Structure 1
Amino acid sequence: MTILDDGARSGRGHGAPSMADVARLAGVSPQTVSRVANNRANVEGATRERVLNAMRALGYQPNIAARALATGRFGTIGLISFSLGSHGNMRTLDGVATAAREAGFSINLAGITTPTSQEVHRAFARLGTQAVDGIVIVEAEVLDTPSLLLPPGIPVVVADGHGGHDHPRVDSDQADGARLATEHLLGLGHRTVWHIAGPPDSHSAKHRHAAWRGTLERAGRPVPQVLFGDWTAASGHRLGGYLAARPDVTAVFAANDQMALGALHALHEAGRRVPHDVSLAGFDDMPESAHFWPPLTSVHQDFTRVGRVCVDILVEQLRTRTPAPAVLHPVPVELKIRASTGPPQAL
């Protein structure tokens, strides 16, 4: 079914630009403009780009209602997230937005500043009335809200490893990352590894904490007291001060790079040299980590790929009209070894 807007049929010359106006500027037929507007695949790449440039030049907006009638889609993906300022969430959102645009979808973002029951319900209700084809949720803690009702019939994909809900999930392999960091420090000759964990209610922090503990236990090493931070450099600095005062601490794995940065600051203040006196590893591999002093060994997460896989799963559900199984799709991680880790001084 080919959709032509009213302007194409009437040949209007004034007011909002029509499909016919776009066709004349791009040097193509109105049917070709319709195919591009409806995100059909049977348009050559250079022609599609010429049509899109003409749309932008004229300020043309496709008829959303007509496109939905023709394709059964609105061409929009709803995106829900909180903690918008965090490095991981922003990179994941960027991955979702880029993949959605490449698949022919726009993004409708519903940010939640505080994941209260009222805020979460309001975000879902807003998206449910704004003609979205599917929803990507970044951080599954928003799904822990009691009595949460998702818009009926709309597929949902979650960018998180939390398994307490009935939707497909995409997440970095949190456990493998913590294992890699802990095994790296043990392999350097450290007797054990201390851990600055994330908040106890964070699913990512729980996975990393459990994998750190399990790695030490499998190696037959002592498991030190876990220290809980809140993802901030300030909490890492506070807990790093405690660790710096203990001469038996020679290796520390922080659950994210921000807390590792705070711990690095505290160790320097206490005169504990990194890595000569204390080796330090983080998690996330944010761009600044390679420029800490010393550069930080860290677990690299491909947040952009997480976002892309979320969109791939959602688009496949829309294409097949078949719900995706509620399973975890792990995205591999990689340990970036830098100058903040080394053998203990006694060796």
Structure 2
Amino acid sequence: MSVVDLAELGDLERTTLTIDTPQHPDWLRVFPVAHLAEHLLGRELGRLAGLSALTGHLRQDVITVRFLVSRTGRSALDLPRLLELRDTTSADFEQELRVLAAEDAILPASLRSTGRLPAGLEQFRDAWRRTTPRLRLDREPFVSGRMRALLDPGSPAPWMDGLVTEAAEAAGGRGSASGRWVDGAADERQEYADALAAVRRRLGGREPELFMDGGPLDQYCSPASVFLAGLSAYRSPLFRRLREGPRPVYSLKLFDFPWRRRTFVACVTQPATGPAAFSATLGPRLAEIVAGLGTAELRTVRDEGCLAVLDDLVAVLDFPPRRAWLPVLARLNDFSARPTDLARPVLDCTTDDLARYRDDFLDAYTRRVHRTAWEAV
């Protein structure tokens, strides 16, 4: 299987669609309609071939949708047709109403959509037109500036200039000042507890739906990183199936968490499901979908995952506290902290790599889900 093509990456553009309703200063009055329109716009864009890394959000009455598309493929974007939601079907409309109902659980009462939207698609299109939406399109190359330096081995590594190398020295080579390393090997139970505490802090104190040991940390990024990020992408076959049906999932995020000598895998849903309910309901469904992914679906997971991990790497290297951790992890685990070396496993990842990792992931994942379900009894 082929790896990510650098020439194709160079042809991609970051595209941002911004839609606002400037004639309606009371944004709360148009928010429910704009919110559903944002969902439907994402749904229509998600069907277009050659488009990737699709995300969107709504702030007051301003919709922002971002995605990557090739320069040659952007001609397929029919913006007037998109803005008017001409390709939206009644089934699309009804399903996104169900997704909004799930999202209502995490929104304040003033922003909830239930009971505040037209009952049918044509009435909704009329309501959306009456908001007089105005669209703006912005483009920039995906591979430029810091991304170019990350992908080009001959480019300088600006992130490493002035790096806090004292952090690496504080790690004490193969030991640790915390006293939690024994003969060069981590106390795995303590490391698990410390990593879980760190993830909880990142999540603002909430418990992840699932948390499991992902094995020794030998690279900051790996096929595991690509696989988990790709499964969480809006266009992934897993995410799209979980958004369908009578009980859709609003948001699901799978991610790996490099920590000292091991990596850990976490899963977070919105609205929060909780570990016990997740293991009893959504967890087995997720495993069934992942186990059945075909080659073409794994290719979508790989492509979406690669783009997501590359963007995350840029964010890590551009943020001093996280960037300062890299030499610590690299020194403890004998991998390179050079930015271009960090990107290499991502660029070299194949669908065969993902298929092999999927088997390992499902084995550990199902054991964790069954254990949590048993503990809840």
Higher helix share: 2
TM > 0.5: no
**TM-score for the superposition, normalised by structure 1:** 0.23
Task: Return the structure number with greater relative CO, CA threshold 8 A, min gap 6.
Answer: 2
**TM-score for the superposition, normalised by structure 2:** 0.21
Greater radius of gyration (CA): 1
